[in-house]
Amino acid sequence: MMASESQNWVFMVTAQTPTNIAVIKYWGKRDETLILPINDSISVTLDPSHLCTTTTAAVSPAFHQDRMWLNGKEISLSGGRFQSCLREIRARACDVEDETKGIKITKEDWGKLHVHIASYNNFPTAAGLASSAAGFACLAYALGKLMNVKEDESQLSAIARQGSGSACRSLFGGFVKWIMGKEDNGSDSLAVQLTDEKHWDDLVIVIAVVSSRQKETSSTTGMRESVETSLLLQHRAKEIVPKRILQMEEAIKNRDFASFSQLTCADSNQFHAVCLDTCPPIFYMNDTSHRIISIVEKWNRSEEAPQVAYTFDAGPNAVLIARNRNAATSLIQRLLYYFPPNSDDLSSYIIGDKSIAKDAGINGIQDVEALPPPPEIKDNIPSQKYKGDVSYFICTRPGRGPVLLSDSIQALLNDETGLPK
């Protein structure tokens, strides 16, 4: 049993993990339990200062069961995905010693000890902003640190993968590839970093959170139905994605925005075409999503080279990647021209890195009203505006991978009781 005398110590760690957006999509599993995909995928990690999960994992001999709180509310850990992550991390736990607190936990102790986990997403959960990706990556990372697991980020990614496939790509910053692997046990299905976030730091990312009422088909259900019914998905996974992955790696390595943008848009559009090819068809994008695509396509065509790439996950939100800050300010002007806010409160309409709006000359609602129509529609009939169709915009950029937060102020659990603060 534990070498420590007293039963009332609590040992904890707190980690912060980013979310990610795929530019070559993961859609379809070959193994539902282990979460093994039918193709490789590539993503860009988003700056955790704007979108991230913070998770505190704690252990104490006084805990009677494993418990978890998400955004302040207790949730059940009984689901298979949580159980897989806990089991896999526990199996790799090592000795932990904290001399100052008089704590000694041996490898064997971990099987008998219970954990408390508290997690907080600094953005809406289940709003199509990939909370499950940041969430399961942070769970695996924080538990791994708590239990002194010696595995590296790639090996941890194979555990996060069993929580949610896209989560394995959130163990690294910059551009990340999830290698599908060949093994039946999933041991070689893991994420690797292609380049860190400094490699291509011109890029600016604007997310349009699109107002939507309808409840969408979850990614898990949607991709299962696509695997069962879409012939286009089979063709995509076998013939299209392997070539696209190589081209995308090349584009990222060379910071070739023209290729990057062409591949990103084509892959998003093909993913949504697969959804339409599914029986019954799945509609993730809505009229606003389609309008954003048209606006970007028209603008890109009017320029010598593409300025912005778009990509959409399993929902109507647009993720727009601008080639540089200049392109991002022009993008913000266009977006605000077409989608002015419902209220006069700009500060809650553009969140994240607000300096992009400032650079675009947008300081108040009067500046939005004064925006001229974009030059590419100059000769056309006066364009329509779609006030209120976008809920808000998040301005961000490529960001770093997981980190430990050492300041106990940032912990989500009380260090004496092990309960949420």
Site residues for ligand ATP per CB under 6 A: 53, 70, 119, 121, 125-132, 135-136, 139, 218-219, 313-315
For 201-263, the DSSP string reads TT-EEEEEEE---SPPPPHHHHHHHHHHH-HHHHHIIIIIHHHHHHHHHHHHHTT-HHHHHHH
| Residue least distant from ligand DP6 (Cβ) | 165
* Beta carbon of residue 139, minimum distance to ligand ATP (angstroms, whole number): 5
From the list 14, 60, 132, 329, which residue makes contact with ligand DP6 (rule: CB under 6 A)? 132
Contact status, residue 264 vs residue 23, Cβ threshold 8 Å: yes
Amino acid at 264: T
Closer by beta carbon to ligand ATP, 176 or else 362: 176
Closer by beta carbon to ligand ATP, 313 or else 389: 313
Smallest Cα–Cα separation from 133: which of 165, 156, 95, 109?
A: 165
26 binds, among ligand ATP, ligand DP6, none (CB under 5 to 8 A by kind): ligand DP6
* Beta carbon of residue 131, minimum distance to ligand ATP (angstroms, whole number): 3
Q: Is 165 in the site for ligand DP6 (CB under 6 A)?
A: yes
Q: How far apart are CA 86 and CA 84, in angstroms?
A: 6
Q: How far apart are CA 80 and CA 99, in angstroms?
A: 36
Closer by beta carbon to ligand ATP, 106 or else 286: 286
Q: Residue with structure tokens 């409840």?
A: 215
Closer by beta carbon to ligand ATP, 73 or else 378: 73
Q: Is 219 in the site for ligand DP6 (CB under 6 A)?
A: yes
Smallest Cα–Cα separation from 205: which of 402, 18, 344?
A: 18
Q: Beta 114-121 vs 190-195: how paired, if at all? A: unpaired
Four-residue CA torsion sign, 173, 149, 183, 231 = negative
136 binds, among ligand DP6, ligand ATP, none (CB under 5 to 8 A by kind): ligand ATP
Q: Beta 67-70 vs 114-121: how paired, if at all? A: parallel
Q: Is 334 in the site for ligand DP6 (CB under 6 A)?
A: no
121 binds, among ligand ATP, ligand DP6, none (CB under 5 to 8 A by kind): ligand ATP
Say what the alpha-carbon torsion angle 26, 28, 29, 35 is, to the nearest 10 degrees. Answer: 40
Q: Which residues contact 25 (CB under 8 A, 6 or more apart)?
A: 41, 267, 268, 270, 271, 313
Q: Is 35 in the site for ligand DP6 (CB under 6 A)?
A: yes
* Beta carbon of residue 167, minimum distance to ligand DP6 (angstroms, whole number): 7
77 binds, among ligand ATP, ligand DP6, none (CB under 5 to 8 A by kind): none
Closer by beta carbon to ligand ATP, 17 or else 300: 17
User: With CB under 6 A as the contact rule, which of the stretches 82-90, 117-125, 163-171, 247-255 interacts with ligand DP6?
Assistant: 163-171
Question: Which residues bind to ligand DP6, rule: CB under 6 A?
Answer: 22, 25-27, 35, 41, 132, 164-166, 219-220, 313-314
